[in-house]
Structure 1
Amino acid sequence: MLIAIDNGNTNVKFALVDDAGKILQRWSIATDAKRTADEYAVWLDQLLRMEGYSRTDISDVIIATVVPRALHNLQVLSQKYFGTDALIAGRPPIEWGIALKVDEPRALGADRAVNAIAAQALVPGDKIVISFGTATTFDHIDADGAYRGGSIATGVSLSLDALYEAAAMLPRIAIEPPPGSSVIGRDTVGQMQIGIYWGYVSMIEGMIRRMKEEIGRPVKVIATGGLAALFQRHADLFDRVEPELTLQGLARLYATRSDRS
């Protein structure tokens, strides 16, 4: 079986994938570049055993990372505890296999390229993938599966943190939709919830509209990332929500690797 690892800015997500490419289990842990391979192994070993698996069931590891300084310890984890050299998404023998039609392909985050691979397999035609993570990203993948570009905005959690840290009188609040649809709050917490939630809904609506106008063809919208479910109640925003899109993309990328017998 395969362990797929999505090393993001906020969390590291692990998926256990069977030989048919199906995700069997999914776990996550806070990103910490100082976390050692041994610490990862103890944590992961316990989770595998809880689900009836063991480290000996793992034959391969694939990693996508946007945190380069955390990669080494994940590679050591793969070598020391799974007995295999990890495949790194975007590097031989596991290069993307899709066209990256942007000015600086090497600067594109691995998660966004992997999302494009998964989106192309799930939805025909042009796609917009919106990923809600540390940043909120909007990406266009055309009907041929080529990555055409996108945009990057501040993530929801990051915006809330900035409010709390920069404004002395504002409290730290949970990320949740405000009750009802009013955008005129009556207290500080309610006003913050409204500003963050409906502000982001308006940004999402506006970005989707502008991107569709620029693309000029029918487009499907896919949402992913940890906070995608926060906006899922607005059925008109997205055509589908795929919380595990990056892990799905890693499983598909692994299946196409050039050294596979």
Structure 2
Amino acid sequence: MLLAVDVGNTNVVFALIEDGAIRTRWRIATDPRRTADEYAVWLLQLMEIETVGRESITAVIVSSVVPRARHNLEVLGQKYFGQTPLFAGEGDAAWTLPIHVDEPRTLGADRAVNALAAHAGFAGDLIVVDFGTATTFDVVSADGAYQGGIIAPGINLSLDALVNNTAKLPRIAIEHPRTTSVTGRNTEDQMQIGVFWGYVSMMEGLIARLKAEIGRPVQVIATGGLALLFQRHTQIFDAVDADLTLKGLAILADQAGH
């Protein structure tokens, strides 16, 4: 059984993958100071609930955009599972897809993994939208090559900046505005309209520009925590796959022979 770990700037997702299928997944807040022992106390208890023993783990693979988390995850794999983790993009888990950017080494592991999984799951040219701390838009050609993309502030990051830098604006939930009008009658409605529909408009505008530049039919694949929320209120996504990164890690581990 594969233990796949996706380390983002906000959360770390651990998943058990068996025969290519995701059996279960767990999420914990990202904290580079968290030790291997702290991870283990949490993770082994969750595995026990699922009746999965640590001896069932035959490989560990990690995708990380947080360099400081690396050492403790290496120790976790070696000390508690007897496995030296593979790291996406390195060694036996080196990228198998062409990366057509100026500095391929600077491409976030999560974005390359998403591109790998999207190409495996969908045909033709693709735009992959990932809602994380940042929202990324990645272009994948029909032959599976990563062509580049866009990085925008995530919606939570945008809201934090708005609330933290204004004296009187309250914190609001990220959700569809309660009013059907885009003329808000109170502060909270005005904020929700600005944050929600402003973000939808940004996504629609950027995707329209990418499609025009690609100049061929293209599918838009969304992933990340807020993908399902936005899917209900815009027609720009052809598919939503919340597990795209984990599926990419499973593909990469399989290609590495694990």
TM > 0.5 between the two? yes
TM-score normalised by L of structure 2: 0.98
2-side partners of 1:181 and 1:27: how far apart? 36
> What residue number does 2:246 align with?
247
Q: Could you say which residue in structure 1 is the equivalent of 2:133? A: 134
Asked if structure 1 preserves the Cα contact closer than 8 Å seen for 2:128 and 2:137, the reply is yes
Counterpart in the other structure of 1:103: 102
Deviation for aligned residue 1:13? 0.4
Correspondence for 1:88: 87
Partner of 1:217: 216
Identity %: 62
> 1:141 & 1:116 partners in 2: Cα distance?
6
> C-alpha distance in 2, partners of 1:26/1:135?
22
Cα distance, 1:179 vs structure 2? 2.2
Unaligned runs of 5+ in 2: none
Could you report, residue by residue, the CA deviation over 1:82-121 in whole angstroms, capped at 9, with x for unpaired residues?
0010000000111110000000100000000000000001
- Where 1:93 maps in the other structure, the secondary structure is helix
Letter in 1 for 2:240: V
CA-to-aligned-CA distance 1:198-220 (integer Å, 9 cap, x gap): 00110111011100000000000
Cα deviations by residue, 1:49-105 (Å, 9 ceiling, x for unpaired): 111112111111000000001111011100000001000000011111000000010
SS of corresponding position for 1:174: coil
- Counterpart residue number, 1:10: 10
Measured in 1, the distance between the counterparts of 2:69 and 2:183 equals: 43
Q: TM-score, normalised by structure 1?
A: 0.97
- Distance, in Å, in 1 between the alignment partners of 2:233 and 2:173 is 20
SS in 1 for 2:110: helix
CA distance, structure 2, for counterparts of residue 178 and residue 234 of structure 1 = 11
Report SS of the residue matched to 1:140.
strand
- RMSD over aligned Cα, in angstroms? 1.0
Amino acid at match of 2:93: I
> How far apart are the structure 2 equivalents of 1:182 and 1:224?
28
State the distance in 2 between where 1:212 and 1:199 align.
20
Match of 1:229 in 2: 228
Tell me how far 1:235 sits from its aligned partner. 5.0
Partner deviation per Cα, 1:185-240 (whole Å, 9 max, x = no partner): 11111111111100011011101110000000000000001111220103511000
Counterpart-to-counterpart distance in 1, 2:119 and 2:234: 21
Q: Distance in 1 between matches of 2:127 and 2:36?
A: 36
Moved more, 181-190 or 40-49: 181-190
Deviation at 1:177, TM superposition (A): 1.1
Equivalence map 1:108-123=2 (5 Å) = 108-123=107-122
**Runs of at least 5 residues in structure 1 that lack an aligned partner in the other structure:** none
Distance 2:9 2:225 in 1: 12
Cα distance in 1, alignment partners of residues 208 and 15 from structure 2 = 34
Q: Which residue of 1 aligns with 2:151?
A: 152
1:170 counterpart residue number? 169
Distance in 1 between the 2:234 and 2:152 partners?
22
Question: Counterpart of 2:61 in 1: which secondary structure?
Answer: strand
Q: Which moved more, 1:222-231 or 1:106-115?
A: 222-231
> Which whole-Å CA distance do the structure 2 matches of 1:97 and 1:147 have between them?
11
Task: Tell me whether 229-238 or 95-104 shows the greater mean CA deviation.
Answer: 229-238
State the 1:27 CA deviation. 0.6
- Count of residue pairs brought into register by the alignment: 258
Please state how far the C-alpha of 1:183 moved relative to its aligned partner.
1.3
Conserved 8 A contact 2:179-2:189: no
Matched to 1:123, the amino acid is F
- For 1:181 and 1:201, the matched residues in 2 are separated by 15
